[in-house]
Structure 1
Amino acid sequence: MADRGFDLEDRLRTLEENDLKRALSPGDRVAERGYFAEPSGADLPVLDSAEALVFASNNYLGLTDDQRVQDAARQAAATVGTGAGASRLVTGDTLVHQDLERVLAETKGTERALAFSSGYAANVGTIAALEPDVVFSDELNHASIIDGCRLAASETVVYDHCDAASLRAALEERADRAGGGTADESWLIVTDSVFSMDGTVAPLEDICDAAEEFGAWVMVDEAHATGLYANGGGIVQAEGLEDRVQIQMGTLSKALASQGGYVAGSSELIECLLNDARSFVFSTGLAPPAAAAASEALHVARHGDVRERLWENVAHLRDGLESMGLEVWGDSQILPVVIGDRRDAMALAEGIRERDVVAPAIRPPTVPEGTSRIRVVPMATHGQGDIVACLEAFRAAGEEVGLL
């Protein structure tokens, strides 16, 4: 009988041969520092003896370790329950979910918001529910956006990264097709606002200008911006574009120190997603402790000083890295130190790790060949001594491997 299964050993061997095989390395906590285990496969992990500084997390404001956020999660678990128990359209909707969505809508300047079980579910569910005829997508958009376009069976037109001129040219070409016979099509422009691997920021105002000229809608993924900019919002809020962006999406799992995703927009948009987004309708609701933690984290981001402390750390770290002659990309809290060769990047990351700083190498296929990098991200909770220790680790490791 023919074997119609899968050769998993060959797949794993190929990953190893190409230096692409990855493994889990659990830590004892999610914070600016912690103890980490060596990859252990199916064995029980054994934590290393040395505490390491973490400069690789999306926990930008350091709020996973904040007592107020933890207390909110505990209170929700004790009062409402540890899980939603069902889809929110059945019995899984609670006042904790409603409160979170109210605060999100207020922060994002929209009529309503809707919380999903993950950011991935929010992107895939929203795009698939809208079923746009054509999606114009930045070439570096997140995988969940790409998968949403596939699920919606939309024709996808990719434009150059953060290039409004390239987008406009793509819109013009589509409008001219078949002598203007595209008037009945629905068009959606989708972009991240802050790109997670490059740290770049999309030119949202120029994108909105192009969209309005051609009658397209704009959807912005604020996963790596929510909580960090004006009044705890994202780039949309920083640039005052709430009335020009029809769909604002984001996550609760990064700066908001929890789990889940959200979409914010008009009441009509949210009502449609409530009924048509399969990733919402057919998923158990966000766990109440996660919703409560995110709501409290958003309150802290809006009314505390954590955002200011983050940006001070970002400026100090960028200045220090560039003063060594390292090439640092990006315009956000994400600081990609571009090395180029993948083996050089991996050697530098290993040297940094030996000095108790966690900042892994990012290499192809995650990023293009020749642009391997160390993705460095400070947190608001890093002290000045932590920033100095990170810079010293870069300098020592860089000299050791011959990059400085």
Structure 2
Amino acid sequence: MLSRIGTIAVAAAFAASPLWIVGQAAALELNVFVPAAYSPSSGFIPGADVFKKLYAEFQKQNPDITLNYEVLDPGPAGLQKLLTVAASNGLPDVTIVDGQWIARLVQSNVLQPLDAVWPESDRADFHPAVIEAETIDGKPFGIMFQTGMRGLVYRPSMLASAGLTEFPATFDAFMAAGKTLKDKGISAEMVPAKANEEPSTMHMLSIFWGLGGKLVDEKGAPVFFEGDNGKYLADVYQMYRDMAAAGVMPASVTTMDENGLKPFFYGGETLAIGFSSSGVKQMWSEMPDLANDLAVAPYPMPEGEKPVTILGGFAYALTAKDPERAAAGWKFIQFMTSPKNMGEVNEVLGALPVRNSIWKDNTFFATNPMMQSYKRMYDGEMQTRPAVPIYNTISSAISAQLAGVISGQVKPVDAVAAARDAVMPEYERQKGR
């Protein structure tokens, strides 16, 4: 059942129903699905406030549209919900999607192309890799509004106390430093390694791609287990096993997601954690002393290799097919993804921009040292996760092997084979659709 409120209200009013209505009754009700973190229902108060303000501004500028929003799970359950409601003609008019869902949703005829309404001049303000990630068969199906780059977040003060002047760039140097830290009761690194968790795979992919690995071929067929690709994936698994065996990384990371690592970092039990830039501002809020004592480093790599930064994020997408509803939906998407509004959301949430103009014109992103560190990663080699339907299955299969590898119960080469065996039946099923 829908709840109706006249204006953006206090948080208690939002807690009354899973679907909120913002604005006065109007001729057209625009239904939007959004993850809580990108809505007035955000648990991060500054984030909730900025979305309340923007939704109210949109409503004021468009009194002929009533904006309804429903909270959508940001993970696999959200993707499944969209597929389910599509089958029963219950789609919203606009939805926020993980960029990795786009291929699957386009395959299921859930999303509408934006090529006819999104001007080329506006697309030119985005990093080319962003446009590529959202484009299928030459047509864009979403507008990414943020990205979260992953690396190793650490405290320079703790690094100095360990006798290091800079974060180790090579894996051998990192292992040597890790053994020194172990003698002091501190782990060198904790990265999420929980099974079937996308961030677990994402931290691995930067290393895998840096070694030269490929997940799929040009036709979207899985090849991560073949030839050099299989060797590179086994090498990444071996690096994880070596860290755990040497006590440089605790084996307990196989039970943790990114947020689960923070207490160990805050307590000084680990030098670095694998973390997303999108959570940095909340870390500053939770521990204000980190504002001047936080840095990010790329993953240490074998000699001569460099990790590849993963570009990914959430995007606004149009699902309405009715022309009138589609026009209203596009108006909302344009409003939320304008440079001004997108920049404000990025700054408040600490999410990295994907518009070049925001990096240049927004004071926070142009001058903050931590953000400039991410900008250097943004300007370097980046790669998007393949926009193919089989990707989610590949990701889950790869992360599902981490517990066995880290504990030493599964050999890296066997983990690669097991991941292959988990993926290929689903790939054959998808081909048969």
TM-score normalised to structure 1 length:
0.26
More helix by share: 2
